[in-house]
Amino acid sequence: MPSNKCDNPKCTCQTAENVDENFKHRQTSDRRDFLKGMGLMGIGLALPPAITYWLQDKSSIQEIIKNPTIASGKAQHITILHTSDIHGQLDIHDEFFWENGHAVYKKRGGFATLRTMINELRNQNPMNTLVVDGGDCFQGSAVAALSQGQAIIPLVNKMNYDLVLPGNWEVVYGKKMMIHDMNSYAAAKVCANMFHKSNSEHESIFPPYQIFNVSGTRIGFIGYNDPLTPIRQSPAYSSGIQFTKPEYNIAKYIKILREEKKCALVFVISHMGLAQQLHLADQPSTLGVDYILGADTHERIREPLQGKYSKVTEPGAFASFIGKLDIVLENGKVKEENYALLDVDPEKYAEDRELKTMVAMAREPYKEALDVVIGKSKTPLVRYYIIETPMDNLITDALMWRFKTDIVVSNGFRFCPPLVPGKDGFAEITKEYLWSMLPVDSEVKMAEVTGAQIKTWLERELENVFAKDATKRFGGWLVRFKGMKINFTIAATMGSRVNEVLVNDQPLDPAKTYTMLACEREGDPDNVLCRMPDVHNPAPQHVLLHDVIEDYLSVFSPVAPQIEGRAIATDALPTLLTQSAPGLNYQFR
C-alpha cells in the first residue's frame, strides 16, 4: 500500500493526516542545483532571458518583468505552467483549430517540442516556476497502451514536472498499475478524492494536497479527479477505488492551506471537465481558491473564466498547448496576474534532441508493427465535434458493414489528434493511429433492445452531455451511431430533449425489438450495453474493434467519412465544439 508521503524533494508533501511541521525550504535549493547544471545561475529574477512570449500579451508580461517591486525583492513573480490530457501523443501531429467558421489544421505538439518549450518558459522565471500536469497522460496512444503506460513515464520525467494529478484514464490499466505508474513519476502526486475502497475510513490513495515553497511564498494545490469516472468508463477500471465529489472535503483542505499552512496562493488542479469545474467555481465551499486549473474536456480556455469564487482555465490536449499563468505577489497579496494559452509550435521551438531519441527508443519495440499502413482517407479524420464526428462515422460504418445490426454505437469522446490528407489528397492510417482512435481494443457485444429502451437511453445520454446540473455531466460528447438518426433540443429538460428517432429511416417503434451493437465495457453486468440496462439476449461476438476496422479498410480504402446529420440539434450547429456555458464568453478555437 503506497504511503501518502511523497519522496519528491521539490515539494513539502502535506496531508491532513501526515503533516511535516518542520517546513523545509527544499525547493529553492533544488532549483538552484538545477540551474547550475543548466549554466543559468547568472539569470536573475529581474533579468529574464530575451525569449518572445508567443501569443501572450507582451505589454502585460513586460509590465510584470519590469515591475520595480520585483527587481527590489519586495514582490514575487510566480509562474505556473500547466499541461493536461497529453494522452501519450509522442510526436508532432496535425492539430485542429476553428478559424472564421472553418476547420484549420496546423502541426503542433510532440514530446521533444514540449520539453524545449517548457525549458524556455521555465528559464524566463527560473527560480519561481512550477510545472504541473492535470492527468490523462500515460494512456491514449499505441506505445502507452502496449506498455501499460510504463514507456511514457521516463519521457514525462525528463520534463521535470513539479506536480501531477491522475486523470480519469489513468485508471484504465487497473488500480494496481495506476498506482505503480503514478508512483514512478518523479514529480509530487496529488488527488483528494480517490480512496482505497476496502477502507471505510477513506484512506487516500494519493496525498490530497501539496505545498510548494517559491521564494519564501507558500503555494498550495488540492487535486480532484472526475467523481463520475466509474460510470463514464468501464467499471472494472476503477475496481477497488472509491471516488467522492470535491464538496466532500475541499473546504477542509482550503482551511488547512490558508489558515494553518499560511499559503498565499491556493490552486485546485482538477480533471473533471469544463462544466463541473465551472460549477465548482460557483460553490461557497470553494471560497479561498485562486484558480481551478482544469482538464478532461480538452477545452482551450484563452482567457480565464470567472466563477463566483474562483477562476477556471483548461489547457487543451495532446501536448499541443501549455497554459501559462504569471502572478505577482506583494505582501502575500495578488497585485498582477496574466494568463495565456500557448501553442506548442515546432516552428518556434526546436525538438529537444535527447527526448526525441528517447521517444524513438520507446517506440522501437513496437515500431515494425505500428508503422503498417492499414488504409487511407480522403477527408480529415477528426473527433473534436460534440454531436457527430467523421472519425466515429468511420468506426460505426465499419461495425455496421461487419455485423449488419439495426443500430451500432461508438462511445463519444475526444481522443485522438486529427489525421489530415497530404498534398497527394490522402492520409495514411497506420496501426499506430488506430490505437489513438481506439485506445482500448474492446470486444464487440450485441443485444436486443426495445424502442422504448432506446428512447430512454438517448434521453439519459443527452443528459450526460447537456444536463443543467453540471455535476451530472461527464465527458462532453454525445455517443455516435449508425442505423439511427435523431433530432433533439439541447435546451429542453431531461426526458424531453428527443424530438424524433428514426431506425433504418423508419420512426422508432416503442414496442418493437431492435438489434444493437457496441463495445463491451469491462465490469458491466451482462445485461448492460453502452450504459443501457436490462438489454435482452446479450451476446459477445468474440471480435475486437481493431480487427473490424482493419478488415473494413482492407475492402473500402480509401474512405472519405464526413458529418452526415445522423444527430441533429435544433438549437446548435453540427460543428458545436463545446458544451453550452450560458453567460460565458468562451469559444473553442
Which range among 47-56, 81-90, 103-112 shows the weakest confidence by mean pLDDT?
47-56
pLDDT at 522: 85
The residue range of the domain holding 74 is: 12-41+58-358
Instruction: Look at residue 191 and tell me if it is in a domain.
Output: yes
Instruction: Look at residue 536 and tell me if it is in a domain.
Output: yes
> Is residue 29 very low, low, confident or very high in pLDDT (cuts 50, 70, 90)?
very low
Cα radius of gyration (the chain): 24
> Is residue 470 very low, low, confident or very high in pLDDT (cuts 50, 70, 90)?
confident
> What is the pLDDT averaged over residues 515-531?
90
> Is residue 521 very low, low, confident or very high in pLDDT (cuts 50, 70, 90)?
confident
- d(C-alpha 185, C-alpha 156), whole Å: 8
> Is residue 523 very low, low, confident or very high in pLDDT (cuts 50, 70, 90)?
confident
Spatial CA neighbour of 343 closest among 382, 325, 317: 317
- d(C-alpha 224, C-alpha 134), whole Å: 9
- If one compares 233 and 512, the residue with the highest pLDDT of the two is 512
Whether omega for the bond prior to residue 558 falls within 30 degrees of 0, making it cis, is: yes
Number of domain units in the chain: 2
- If one compares 538 and 68, the residue with the highest pLDDT of the two is 538
- d(C-alpha 18, C-alpha 8), whole Å: 15
pTM, entire model:
0.89
Q: Look at residue 518 and tell me whether its pLDDT is greater than 90.
A: yes
Amino acid at the residue 346: P
> Is residue 199 very low, low, confident or very high in pLDDT (cuts 50, 70, 90)?
low
Instruction: Look at residue 169 and tell me if it is in a domain.
Output: yes
- d(C-alpha 589, C-alpha 321), whole Å: 12
- d(C-alpha 84, C-alpha 132), whole Å: 8
CA atoms within 13 A on the CB side of 378: 5
SS3 string of 216-285?
A: CEEEEEEEEECCCHHHHCCHHHHCCEEECCHHHCHHHHHHHHHHHCCCCEEEEEEECCHHHHHHHHCCHH
pLDDT at 584: 74
Instruction: Look at residue 259 and tell me if it is in a domain.
Output: yes
CA distances from 31 to 35, 171, 296 (A): 6, 32, 30
Kindly state whether residues 377 and 340 are assigned to the same domain. no
Instruction: Look at residue 192 and tell me if it is in a domain.
Output: yes
The string of pLDDT tens digits covering residues 106-158 is 999 999 999 999 999 999 999 999 999 999 999 999 999 999 999 999 999 99
What is the percent of the chain where pLDDT is above 90? Answer: 78
- If one compares 563 and 64, the residue with the highest pLDDT of the two is 563
Q: Look at residue 35 and tell me whether its pLDDT is greater than 60.
A: no
pLDDT at 524: 85
Instruction: Give the residue from 308, 324, 358 where a domain finishes.
Output: 358
Q: Look at residue 465 and tell me whether its pLDDT is greater than 70.
A: yes
> What is the pLDDT averaged over residues 346-371?
97
What is the percent of the chain where pLDDT is above 70? Answer: 87
Residues 6+ apart with CB under 8 A from 422: none
Which range among 161-170, 257-266, 344-353, 469-478 shows the weakest confidence by mean pLDDT?
469-478
Which range among 88-102, 427-441, 567-581 shows the weakest confidence by mean pLDDT?
567-581
- d(C-alpha 448, C-alpha 537), whole Å: 6
- d(C-alpha 387, C-alpha 475), whole Å: 12
Q: Look at residue 162 and tell me whether its pLDDT is greater than 90.
A: yes
Kindly state whether residues 441 and 522 are assigned to the same domain. yes
Greatest distance between any 2 Cα atoms in the chain: 77
- d(C-alpha 444, C-alpha 539), whole Å: 9
Here the CATH number for the domain that contains residue 209 is: 3.60.21.10
Q: Look at residue 101 and tell me whether its pLDDT is greater than 90.
A: yes
Kindly state whether residues 346 and 417 are assigned to the same domain. no
pLDDT at 57: 52
Kindly state whether residues 304 and 396 are assigned to the same domain. no
pLDDT at 476: 77
The string of pLDDT tens digits covering residues 284-314 is 999 999 999 999 999 999 999 999 999 999 9
Q: Look at residue 51 and tell me whether its pLDDT is greater than 90.
A: no
How many contiguous H segments (helices) and E segments (strands) does the chain have? 16, 28
Full strand arrangement of the beta sheet holding 407-410: 480-482, 407-410, 513-519, 443-450, 536-544
Spatial CA neighbour of 96 closest among 303, 320, 301, 275: 320
Kindly state whether residues 324 and 391 are assigned to the same domain. no
Kindly state whether residues 395 and 453 are assigned to the same domain. yes
- 207 neighbors 165 (Cβ within 8 angstroms): no
Kindly state whether residues 309 and 432 are assigned to the same domain. no
Kindly state whether residues 344 and 379 are assigned to the same domain. no
Kindly state whether residues 247 and 270 are assigned to the same domain. yes
Q: Look at residue 9 and tell me whether its pLDDT is greater than 60.
A: no
Here the CATH number for the domain that contains residue 500 is: 3.90.780.10
CB atoms within 10 A of CB 572: 17
Q: Look at residue 329 and tell me whether its pLDDT is greater than 80.
A: yes
> What is the pLDDT averaged over residues 556-566?
98
The string of pLDDT tens digits covering residues 66-81 is 677 776 678 899 999 9
Q: Look at residue 40 and tell me whether its pLDDT is greater than 60.
A: no
Kindly state whether residues 376 and 444 are assigned to the same domain. yes
Beta-sheet pairing, 291-293 with 311-313: parallel
Average pLDDT of the chain?
88
> What is the pLDDT averaged over residues 428-450?
96
Kindly state whether residues 427 and 384 are assigned to the same domain. yes
Residues 6+ apart with CB under 8 A from 387: 478, 567, 568, 569, 572, 574, 576
pLDDT at 432: 98
- d(C-alpha 501, C-alpha 70), whole Å: 62
- If one compares 510 and 53, the residue with the highest pLDDT of the two is 510
